[in-house]
Structure 1
Amino acid sequence: MLRPNAFICSLSLTFAALKKTAQYKGTTLKFYVGEQDTTIFAGAILNCYYKGGWLVLPKYSNLNQAVANVANGYKAWIGGSDIYGEGAYRWNDGEYVEWASWHPNEPTNNEYQDCITTNHRGSGKWDDDMCEKLHGYVRQIPNNKASPQERSKFRAFTGQNATSYFQAKSVCQNRRSRLALIEDLYTFEHRVPEIDGSSFAEYWVSHQQDVDSCGTISHDGISNAHCLQALPFICEQVAPYGLSVSDEEATLEIGSNFNVECSASDFPTPDVKWYRHNVYVAHQKRGVAKSTLVLDNVNSENDGMYVCKATNEVDGERSITEGYFWLGITTILG
């Protein structure tokens, strides 16, 4: 049995590197891992808390499969343990674990192996592991609380680039960006690399107040200025966000027809495609920042999980956000 205080005293929180994002059932799933970004079980809980949300609770099969997919094959912490009673596994919200996806011969319930990981020797399979081990983790957060800016890249245009608010928006758009939507000083002061800490210059950001008054930010805070004033400005590239799947689960009769639309927002505009078993689905109708999965005359071979991937490049790096659709097939018994 875990000694609860054995690892808390040595806990140190690190800024986690977000590796992959998915959206499912009104929540966003974010996977963090890396040489400097793995953590112990308690660290995963606290990182999720301080960044908003919680360590994911995959209480049913489809969510568990989504978590396994966003963790991309890595072994990762999920929010369950038997810390307070050997073999009596509970989720971090206090509920007992009823549905489970243990790997064969797991959990072993060896001494001090009290915390649950996913992707143990197989996609979505769980293992009980020592809570002091270092793993990545999956954070879950309501969509309306999830900021797309965790994967944003900012660029400041200063000096002779100073211009009006509306021209600044046009310059950003021509660079496959948007005028930055910055709502807090921490992002401005710590994530915009060209910002001079000793300067109190105002920068245009995307907060227009009215026809004549437009949003600015400086080390003094968020404010506004006359929109035609010449100011430096900040552009922003954003990884795919606002991903929407028209239906996330459906059970169809053999021979039925069904369409599922997936769309996403970001800057630059995303490439949206449907996949199944990591293979591009031929039967889809693609448009700008969207794609419709076309399922005609379905049969038993069409059931299972479909993945919508919205992809773009942010500062030269490929960024992906996923959405999911599960299809079940039934027959009419006559």
Structure 2
Amino acid sequence: MRYAILLLCSTLFLLMSCNNRKQPKTIDTETKIIALENHSQKLLTETELNAKDLNQLRLLRNEVYARKGYVFDSTELNTYFNAQPWYSPRKNDPIFLTEMEKQYVHLIKQIEKAKRTETIIYKASQSPYTRFRDTIAINYKDNKKLLDVLQLFPKSNMGSWDWSQKDRTTMVDYIKTHNYIVDTTAQFLNIKYVKPNTMGLSVVDGFWTLSLYTLDADNTLVITNDSVGDGNDYTVYLLKNAVLQLIDATSIFGDYFNVLLQNNSEACQNLLEENKITFDYDFSAPQSITIASWAFHQDEDSDCFKGNTIVLQLNKKEGRFLVSDTYWKEND
């Protein structure tokens, strides 16, 4: 009898010991799962992102920050993310993005930019070319100077994509005759807008712009910008007597980034250098350029920076751009 009782007690002790050994493993696994849900985000492919609308893209872009506890100025965004079970706001904690996250946010910004860009499409049934859903109206007379300049660029200016001078001339000749084009290559080259001083094209995985800045009757500054995932690649020319002359961009813009620095410490300079890829360039205004970063925020970075946006104003007399303003722009 005593032996039976001892055997029963030993068995119970072993069972309890096994349960105690297994329990921490289960809790640890659950903790890891919860942590993963709180701090990770599935990064969508470019194809998947292109299928999203502007509202969805905005939420996906801001989710990168929300996963790190960022508290938004936008009531709409705060309401949305506060409803997410994984959101844990940390108002005073600095937010740092990995290189992959920076590239992901930049990609979403580029897709948003392309989707917002003005596309002029004629849909009226009486129009002789409305059967083409991608017909783009471009008045040659109004945009003659811009379209003429488009034909002057060497192939090397087109960056990683191929748009020969012959093809550009053929397109301009068609516009000259018809005042519209039928753009059937949306997956490769899609004209988003054409205005007297600027045009923008969605190209493969990026966005290419051509902008004109008139100095006087004989001289015009011509700027192209090839904006892709790894940043902006802009080139500056002087147009004189229908000839493009390549010029040094620094002589036209100066060291504009440094005007943002509130603090010239090495740490602040390094932070600026590391985030130059996050600046977007708007060359659409006829007399100015706006350069803004989506990575810097006033409540986080004001110790280092005066703002996240720079405005460069054209000085026709000097033939270059001068800093006219710096300020904080809200990034949602």
TM-score (norm 1): 0.28
More helix per residue: 2
Tell me which structure has the larger Cα radius of gyration. Answer: 2
Instruction: Pick 1 or 2: higher relative contact order, CA cutoff 8 A, min separation 6.
Output: 1
TM-score (norm 2): 0.29
More strand per residue: 1
